[in-house]
Every structure is written in C-alpha cells, then in structure tokens.
C-alpha cells in the first residue's frame, strides 16, 4: 500500500479538484478542485494509513449495508477474440495505469496534473471525500493548482473572491473539456475492478464504487451557480508569531457556504464560468456510467 504525503497544510498553491471526463477525470476533478485551499483548519492526520481508515460521516447518504447495485457498470468491450488482458494487481498497478492515462490525456498533461503513485487509491479516496467536509490534499490524485488565492476589497470594506482568481484553473478546465468522454468511460470500465478493490479497502466492503461515484456526481452537479461575488473573510490567528501567508487563511463569510461539502466549495471557488463548464462535463460523464 502506498504511503501518501502526510503534509496537509494549505499551501500557496490553490485547490485541486474535478477532472471529470473520466473517473480518472472525475477523479482528477475530484482531486484537482476538491481541496479547501484557504481553510486554515486542516483535518488532523490519523496515526493509521489514511486510505485504510473508515471515513467520517458523509454529507451524501451512503447506500445501506449489503445494498443492491443501483448503477451496474457495463463490462469493457472485448479488445480481441481472447478478451481483454488481465489487470495488474492493485499494489503493482501504478506503471500500467500511468501508461493508460498517458494514452488518454497525453504524457505532457499527466506530468503537469497528476500524481501517479497510488493513483487508483488516491482517486477513490478523493471521489468519496468530495461530498464530505474534508478532502485532504495528502490523498489527491492530482497536483495542487499553482499561484495564490486572491481577493478584492469593495467600497463597503467587504472582501470577495477576485474575478481573476478563476484564471488559475483555466489550463485544467481546458484539458478536461478536451478529453474524449467516451474513451474516458471506456478506460474507467477497463480499470473498474481496481477501483472497486480500492473502495472496499477504504472501508466499504460489499458496497459498489460506481454507485458512490454517481451519488457524488449528482451532489456536485446540483451545486448552484453563484450570481454575485462571494464574500470571504480572514480567519483570526491567535499567538505571538505573525502569519506570513495570509492567503491561506480565508473562508467563506456566509456560514451556510462555509458549511458546504469540500467538493461544492471548490466548485464555487473556481468561478461561475468554470463551474458551469465543469458541471457540463460531469453531466456527460454521469450519463454514460449511470442507469437512466
């Protein structure tokens, strides 16, 4: 089992969450935009392996124990008369999965956006966390977004997310939109046994990962698009040591927004235009992996 980076403080590099053209893209998305990048209260790091622990209560109701499968996934199309080649073991899958992602996304994009060590486990954990309060950066399957989170102060003294802040996410959004969704879904089906195994290892034996993925997609797709700039505020830091990185200490001024899931808050932060474009890709992906 891989050892993810346990450094979990917010950094000057923004959130990362939601590459949806794939689970490897929904997952990317999940990881790429899901982080609460300006939350100064990171989740405590448990003493146990992060991906082996039972997650906290979900904001999206989980399917009951021993559920029937709600959204069965079609098997992959045969690659040849002899059928598809066997998958590698989950513990040994990183190189093989990386090769498949290179083929789908290009090597350049994989190097720019993804973390390939333990990718399947990272992807599963991040997808599951998107509907929760925390989506810890230590298990992202993607690299943090570069540059700092920025705000602007109005004449009324209220800080809001700066309109230019959304430009930080433009390269990722363009990459996601360019992914062939049909090919992404085909790869997801091909890799599905690995995702299912990782999900059961995460603490959900007997539950079906594709059902959870559809739940989380519905949760993200239903996130309302803001019509006005979103107010934020600096969280007070007590102590004698001054803060040298104030850009990591912002949270939503509206308690109702600040209490949203990690995934929904990330969608709000990327800006209305990017949010709608990402949600459109999520809808396309969902239609191909869920029952009508």
Q: Is residue 240 in some structural domain?
A: no
Task: Report the half-sphere exposure of 161 (CA within 13 A, side-chain side).
Answer: 29
Q: Collect all residues with Cβ–Cβ distance below 8 Å to 119 and sequence separation of at least 6.
A: 24, 93, 94, 97, 98, 101, 141
Determine the pLDDT at residue 80.
Answer: 54
Q: Collect all residues with Cβ–Cβ distance below 8 Å to 178 and sequence separation of at least 6.
A: none
How far is residue 159's CA from residue 33's CA, in Å, rounded to a whole number? 22
- % of residues, the chain, pLDDT over 70: 70
Tell me the C-alpha to C-alpha distance, in Å, between residue 275 and each of 18, 65, 102, 265, 270: 10, 33, 26, 11, 6
Q: Is residue 266 in some structural domain?
A: yes
Q: Is residue 158 in some structural domain?
A: no
Domain that holds residue 199: 23-148+165-229+261-289
Q: Is residue 105 in some structural domain?
A: yes
Does the structure show a pLDDT above 60 at 62? no
Q: 180 is written with which tokens?
A: 């062939």
Residue identified by tokens 């966390």 is 129
Does the structure show a pLDDT above 70 at 193? yes
The band of 240, judged by pLDDT with boundaries at 50, 70 and 90, is: low
Q: Is residue 154 in some structural domain?
A: no
Beta bridge partners of 84: none
Contact 267, 220 (CB under 8 A): yes
- Stretch 167-192: mean pLDDT: 94
Average pLDDT of the chain, as a whole number: 78
Helix (H) or strand (E) holding 251: strand 250-252
How far is residue 260's CA from residue 15's CA, in Å, rounded to a whole number? 15
Higher pLDDT, 208 or 44: 208
- Lowest mean pLDDT: which of 14-18, 194-198, 225-229? 14-18
- Lowest mean pLDDT: which of 44-53, 74-83, 244-253? 44-53
pTM of the shown model: 0.77
Q: How many domains does the chain have?
A: 1
- % of residues, the chain, pLDDT over 90: 57
DSSP 122-141: HHHHHHHHTTSS---GGG-S
Q: Is residue 256 in some structural domain?
A: no
Beta bridge partners of 252: 232
Determine the pLDDT at residue 150.
Answer: 87
The band of 67, judged by pLDDT with boundaries at 50, 70 and 90, is: low
Does the structure show a pLDDT above 50 at 202? yes
- Smallest CA-to-CA distance from 130 within 66, 55, 195 is with 55
Phi, psi of 161 (to 5 degrees): -60, 130
Q: Is residue 8 in some structural domain?
A: no
Determine the pLDDT at residue 195.
Answer: 97
Q: Is residue 170 in some structural domain?
A: yes
Per DSSP bridges, beta strands 250-252 and 232-234 are: antiparallel
């Amino acid at each position: 089992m891989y050892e993810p980076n346990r450094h979990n403080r917010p950094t000057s590099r923004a959130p990362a969450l939601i590459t949806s053209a794939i689970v490897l893209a929904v997952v990317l998305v999940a990881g790429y935009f899901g982080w609460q990048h300006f939350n100064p209260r990171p989740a405590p790091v448990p003493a146990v392996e992060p991906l082996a622990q039972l997650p906290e209560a979900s904001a999206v109701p989980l399917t009951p124990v021993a559920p029937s499968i709600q959204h069965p996934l079609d098997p992959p199309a045969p690659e040849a008369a002899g059928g598809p080649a066997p998958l590698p073991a989950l513990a040994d899958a990183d190189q093989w999965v990386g090769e498949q992602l290179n083929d789908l996304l290009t090597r350049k994009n994989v190097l720019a956006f993804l973390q390939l060590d333990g990718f399947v486990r990272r992807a599963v954990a991040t997808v599951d966390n998107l509907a929760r309060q925390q989506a810890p950066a230590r298990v992202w399957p993607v690299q943090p977004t570069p540059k700092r989170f920025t705000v602007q102060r109005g004449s009324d003294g209220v800080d809001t997310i700066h309109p230019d802040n959304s430009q930080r996410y433009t390269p990722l959004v363009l990459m996601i939109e360019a992914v062939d969704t049909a090919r992404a879904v085909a790869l997801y089906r091909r890799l599905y046994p690995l995702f299912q195994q990782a999900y059961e290892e995460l603490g959900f034996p007997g539950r079906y990962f594709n059902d959870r993925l559809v739940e989380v997609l519905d949760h993200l797709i239903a996130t309302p698009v803001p019509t006005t700039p979103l107010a934020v505020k600096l969280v007070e830091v007590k102590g004698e040591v001054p803060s040298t990185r104030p850009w990591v200490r912002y949270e939503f001024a509206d308690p109702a927004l600040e209490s949203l899931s990690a995934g929904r808050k990330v969608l709000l932060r990327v800006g209305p235009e990017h949010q709608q474009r990402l949600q459109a890709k999520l809808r396309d992906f969902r239609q191909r992996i869920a029952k009508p």
